[in-house]
């Protein structure tokens, strides 16, 4: 952690408003992006970000300097997002989602790493929310299945199966996008939920 | 569990290994940034101010509640003490009277035949019951005392029971016991 951030955090602990503002401006876009990953709504992402920032400022004394501050803030944001997710949950998991697509896709194309951020966001957004949440928690934010199970209030095996199904669907969407980008006449049908 | 490079999360042996695309997704999403709405900053600090003032208010309320609770606790400490004294006083009278007669009789009947003692006990029994009934009906004393005389007796301090003032407190019973003994001795003389 750089000295500038250390000083900023010390001043934030003393509840110095200018330091709090500086800290907010330094990490606001990261927090908001993390919140957006776990919701479909920008309004809800704002709510998540706001709650997260209040938690950050109120619990700053608990932050250990040997940890990554960005990682600490991200965990707070993810936890807040999951609280929102569970609060708004109507259908926890989409077990009835069609896993096989109508047209066989070239999954090898989905394994390439040349997708843009926009394409990744589109593919992730196309996942059912239950799958997407587990994929995000496991693949992106690095939570274990045990942690995910506790956070979502599900069984560990449920978390594993959700990840497995989510990954398959994600690869299918990525393959569909990469094939659609090709100048071919026999494009596969766009999978729908 | 299979551990993969690029700090990717571990996978079960049955899972397909992470693809390049998934690694790319992880890196891209972790590094992603999005412009927060302009009004969010002011909302955050307004909410922060509200949340910091709320605990201060609640802590003041908590302190006030603590003071009230401690006051109640102090009052409760003294109040039950008086209550116990009152109950003890009310419970003392009924059971002591009920027990006193046999004790007195036993002390005096050391010289008398056993039959006399039994007669006296029988004669005094209704009186003891009357005392209990009066206390029950009276309602000024502890209602529990007459209902559970044995327990109350067990709870009495021994100093009260061993006091030498029993005769003064219940002179009628003492006086009544002595002539009864004398009268029966005379009856025995007639039989001889």
Least confident of A127-131, A188-192, B97-101: B97-101
For residue B133, what are its two tokens? Answer: 């009934």
* Distant-in-sequence, close-in-space partners of A18: CB < 8 Å, separation ≥ 6: A11
Task: State the average pLDDT over residues A182-190.
Answer: 51
For residue A14, what are its two tokens? Answer: 């003393």
B173: confidence class by pLDDT, cuts 50, 70, 90: low
Residue A137 has pLDDT above 60, yes or no: yes
CB-nearest partner of A29 from B22, B26, B34: B34
Beta bridge pairs of residue A111: none
State the pLDDT at residue A182: 62
User: In the Cβ-directed half-sphere of B113, how many Cα atoms lie within 13 Å?
Assistant: 8
CB A112 within 8 A of CB A66: no
CB B137 within 8 A of CB B146: no
Beta bridge pairs of residue B11: B2
Q: Is A161 on the interface with B (CB under 8 A)?
A: no
Residue B123 has pLDDT above 90, yes or no: no
* pLDDT one-digit tens code per residue, A81-115: 999 998 877 544 444 344 434 444 455 555 666 78
Q: Is A164 on the interface with B (CB under 8 A)?
A: yes
Classify domain A107-181 at the CATH topology level. Answer: Arc Repressor Mutant, subunit A (1.10.10)
State the pLDDT at residue B105: 41
B7: confidence class by pLDDT, cuts 50, 70, 90: confident
Residue B160 lies in a domain: yes
Provide, as residue numbers in chain A, all residues whose Cβ is less than 8 Å from the Cβ of B33. 29-30, 32-33
What's the mean per-residue pLDDT of chain B? 61
CB A165 within 8 A of CB A98: no
Query: What ranges do the domains of chain A cover?
Result: 3-87, 107-181
For residue B89, what are its two tokens? Answer: 């006083």
pTM: 0.58
State the pLDDT at residue A97: 41
Residue B184 lies in a domain: yes
Q: How many residues does chain A have?
A: 193
Instruction: Using alpha carbons, list the distances in angstroms from residue A188 to A121, A145, A155, A167, A181.
Output: 20, 34, 35, 19, 11
For residue B127, what are its two tokens? Answer: 């009186």
State the pLDDT at residue B134: 43
Percent of chain B with pLDDT over 70: 33
**Number of separate domains in chain B:** 1
Q: Look at the block and give the residue holding tokens 């004294």.
A: B85
Residue B120 has pLDDT above 80, yes or no: no
CB A175 within 8 A of CB A105: yes
Least confident of A38-52, A100-114, B70-84, B90-104: B90-104
With CA atoms as reference, the chain A residue closest to B48 would be: A54
Q: Could you tell me how many CB contacts below 8 A there are between chain A and chain B?
A: 103
For residue B25, what are its two tokens? Answer: 């997704």
Q: Do A53 and B24 touch (CB under 8 A)?
A: no
* pLDDT one-digit tens code per residue, A7-31: 999 999 999 999 999 999 999 999 9
Angle of CA points A182, A187, A189, to nearest 5°:
135
State the pLDDT at residue B52: 72
SS3 B51: helix
Q: How many residues does chain B have?
A: 192
More confident residue, A183 or B37: B37
Residue B98 has pLDDT above 80, yes or no: no
Residue B135 lies in a domain: yes
Residue A162 has pLDDT above 70, yes or no: yes
SS3 B52: helix
Q: Do A144 and B15 touch (CB under 8 A)?
A: no
Domain membership of residue B120 as a residue range: 92-192
Residue B85 has pLDDT above 50, yes or no: no
Residue B110 has pLDDT above 50, yes or no: no
Beta bridge pairs of residue B2: B11
State the pLDDT at residue A120: 87
Return the closest-CA partner of residue A38 out of A78, A71, A8, A7. A78
Give the ipTM of the model, two decimals please. 0.80
SS3 B2: strand
Residue B130 has pLDDT above 50, yes or no: no
SS3 B42: helix
More confident residue, A62 or B172: A62
- In chain B, which among 23-42 make CB contacts under 8 A with chain A? 23-26, 28-30, 32-37, 40-41
- Distance CA(B3)–CA(B25), nearest Å, equals 18
Residue A5 has pLDDT above 70, yes or no: yes
Phi/psi at B11 (nearest 5 deg)?
-120, 155
More confident residue, A54 or B151: A54
Return the closest-CA partner of residue A91 out of A131, A122, A138, A124. A131
Residue B138 has pLDDT above 50, yes or no: no
SS3 A127: coil
Provide, as residue numbers in chain A, all residues whose Cβ is less than 8 Å from the Cβ of B38. none
Helix A42-58 to helix A69-87 angle (10° resolution) is 130
Highest mean pLDDT among A27-36, A97-106, B116-125, B164-173 belongs to A27-36
State the pLDDT at residue B103: 44
Return the closest-CA partner of residue A105 out of A164, A162, A192, A180. A180
B191: confidence class by pLDDT, cuts 50, 70, 90: low
A185: confidence class by pLDDT, cuts 50, 70, 90: very low
- Distance CA(B192)–CA(B186), nearest Å, equals 10
Check if CATH label 1.10.1740.10 holds for domain A3-87: yes
For residue A76, what are its two tokens? Answer: 């707070």
State the pLDDT at residue B50: 87
What's the mean per-residue pLDDT of chain A? 84
Residue B41 lies in a domain: no
Minimal Cα–Cα distance from A132 to chain B, Å? 13
State the pLDDT at residue A10: 93
């Amino acid at each position: 952690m750089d000295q500038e951030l250390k000083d900023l955090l010390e001043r934030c602990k003393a509840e110095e408003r200018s330091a709090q503002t500086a800290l907010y401006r330094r990490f606001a876009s990261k927090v908001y992006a993390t919140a957006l990953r776990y919701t479909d709504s920008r309004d809800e992402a704002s709510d998540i970000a706001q709650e997260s920032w209040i938690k950050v400022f109120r619990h700053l004394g608990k932050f250990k300097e040997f940890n990554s501050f960005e990682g600490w803030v991200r965990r707070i944001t993810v936890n807040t997002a999951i609280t929102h997710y569970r609060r708004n949950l109507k259908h926890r998991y989409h077990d009835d989602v069609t896993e096989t697509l109508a047209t066989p896709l070239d999954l090898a194309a989905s394994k390439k790493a040349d997708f843009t951020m926009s394409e990744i966001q589109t593919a992730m957004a196309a996942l059912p929310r239950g799958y997407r949440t587990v994929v995000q928690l496991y693949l992106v934010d690095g939570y274990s299945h045990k942690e995910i199970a506790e956070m979502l209030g599900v069984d560990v095996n449920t978390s594993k199966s959700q990840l497995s199904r989510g990954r398959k669907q994600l690869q299918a969407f990525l393959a569909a996008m990469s094939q659609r980008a090709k100048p071919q006449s026999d494009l596969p049908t766009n999978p729908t939920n | 569990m299979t551990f993969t490079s690029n700090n990717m999360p571990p996978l079960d042996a049955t899972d397909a290994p992470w693809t390049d695309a998934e690694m790319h997704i992880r890196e891209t999403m972790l590094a992603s940034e999005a412009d927060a709405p302009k009004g969010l900053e002011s909302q955050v600090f307004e909410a922060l101010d509200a949340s910091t003032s709320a605990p201060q208010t609640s802590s003041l309320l908590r302190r006030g509640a603590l003071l009230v609770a401690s006051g109640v606790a102090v009052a409760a400490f003294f109040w039950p003490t008086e209550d116990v004294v009152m109950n003890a006083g009310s419970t003392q009278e009924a059971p002591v009277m009920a027990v006193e007669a046999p004790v007195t009789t036993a002390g005096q009947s050391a010289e008398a035949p056993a039959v006399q003692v039994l007669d006296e006990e029988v004669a005094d029994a209704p009186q003891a019951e009357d005392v209990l009934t009066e206390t029950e009906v009276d309602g000024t004393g502890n209602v529990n005392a007459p209902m559970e005389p044995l327990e109350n007796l067990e709870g009495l301090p021994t100093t009260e029971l061993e006091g030498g003032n029993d005769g003064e407190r219940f002179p009628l019973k003492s006086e009544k016991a002595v002539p009864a003994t004398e009268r029966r001795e005379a009856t025995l003389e007639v039989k001889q």
